[in-house]
């Protein structure tokens, strides 16, 4: 038998099981993510995130959704990973550079002593070209009419390293939907043929020029209490459709994120996200001897 130690963390309620995989790693992280993410028979979470060695950055984030599919990037997840890496002494740099499947991301930590209070992530420039987002259309997808479940929806598509479909709503009806009804709606978008790699979907109510309320359906995980890349995509879409300014607070079910899409300076066109990174508990699970392999 092998013992796998883990840390449960969340950013605004978007929770993952974190595993330090610097010397040894799960042989099948996809299957392990399904097992550990189960909220009744496992640890419970939106997926599995591993802290792994990198040849190009301070550390690498390897992410798996609750259904076992590989994730490109997670804004809430990367904040938690950065806190864990810093407080465990795996990375001493601040800001630190994290390698993800969506490229290199820089995370600046706000500290009290050696304790991380919050983190700001340079999420990079949004991707707005349809084919690059991975939608079945050319050009920018802004206020684009899409037939979904027998209704015509107006969508705006943005990639922050993973594809997002942003839908602006005129009232709070979507926030009052029962979980089952919201899940049915989310799946219609996630598996729509317009999105060949599936899609994350954000339903946004702009309550002011500096405040967005959001409910999100994530591909591979279902409804989550927060989505960092989704909050960034929502702000970009809101600016493109004149719903808000370039800096706004995004209110999610699990808390708030501060998002800024910079217009000028050295970081022009980059999106910055600031939010918490909370450690919930540490634990360990028993695995079979062949379920862990050394890192080469």
Residues 57 and 85: their CA atoms lie apart, in Å, by 13
Closest CA to 45 of 295, 256, 252, 278: 278
| 3-class SS of residue 269 | coil
Beta-carbon contacts of 158 under 8 Å, excluding residues fewer than 6 positions away, are 126, 127, 128, 133, 164, 166, 233, 236, 237
- Give the 3-state secondary structure of residue 188: helix
Active site residue 80: no
Quick one: tokens of 296? 């080469």
Active-site hit among 74, 165, 232, 244: 74
Query: Cβ distance 81 to 70 under 8 Å?
Result: no
CA quadruple 243, 247, 251, 257: dihedral sign: positive
Whole-angstrom Cα distance, residue 169 to residue 45?
28
Determine the 3-state secondary structure of 158 from DSSP.
strand
Active site residue: 12, 165, 227, 244, which one? 227
Q: Would residue 227 show up in a list of annotated catalytic residues for this protein?
A: yes
Partners of 248 in the beta sheet?
259
Q: Give 87: exposed, middle or buried? Use CB within 10 Å, 0-12, 13-18, 19+.
A: middle
DSSP code at position 127: B
- Residues recognised as catalytic: 74, 227
């Amino acid at each position: 038998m092998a013992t796998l130690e883990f840390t449960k963390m969340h950013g605004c309620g978007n929770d993952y099981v974190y595993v330090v995989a610097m010397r040894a790693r799960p042989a099948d992280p996809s299957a392990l993510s399904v097992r550990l993410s189960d909220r009744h028979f496992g640890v419970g979470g939106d997926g599995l995130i591993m802290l792994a060695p990198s040849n190009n950055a301070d550390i690498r984030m390897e992410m798996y959704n609750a259904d076992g599919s590989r994730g490109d990037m997670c804004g809430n997840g990367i904040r938690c990973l950065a806190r864990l890496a810093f407080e465990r002494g795996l990375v001493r740099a601040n800001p630190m550079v994290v390698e993800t499947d969506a490229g290199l991301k820089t995370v600046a930590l706000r500290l009290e002593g050696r304790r991380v209070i919050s983190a700001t992530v340079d999420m990079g420039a949004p991707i707005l070209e349809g084919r690059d987002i991975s939608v079945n259309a050319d050009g920018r997808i802004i206020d684009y009419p899409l037939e979904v479940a027998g209704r015509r929806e107006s969508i705006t598509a943005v990639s922050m390293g993973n594809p997002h479909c942003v839908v602006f709503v005129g009232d709070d009806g979507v926030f009052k939907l029962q979980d089952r009804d919201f899940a049915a709606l989310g799946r219609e978008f996630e598996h729509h043929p317009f999105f060949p790699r599936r899609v994350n979907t954000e339903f946004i109510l702009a309550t002011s020029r500096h405040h967005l309320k959001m409910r999100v359906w994530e591909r591979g995980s279902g409804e989550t209490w927060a989505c960092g890349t989704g909050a960034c995509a929502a702000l970009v879409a809101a600016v493109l459709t004149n719903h808000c300014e370039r800096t706004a607070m995004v209110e999610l079910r699990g808390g708030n994120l501060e998002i800024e899409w910079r217009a000028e300076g050295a970081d022009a066109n980059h999106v910055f996200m600031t939010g918490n990174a909370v450690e919930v508990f540490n634990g360990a699970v028993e695995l079979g001897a062949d379920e862990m392999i050394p890192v080469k």
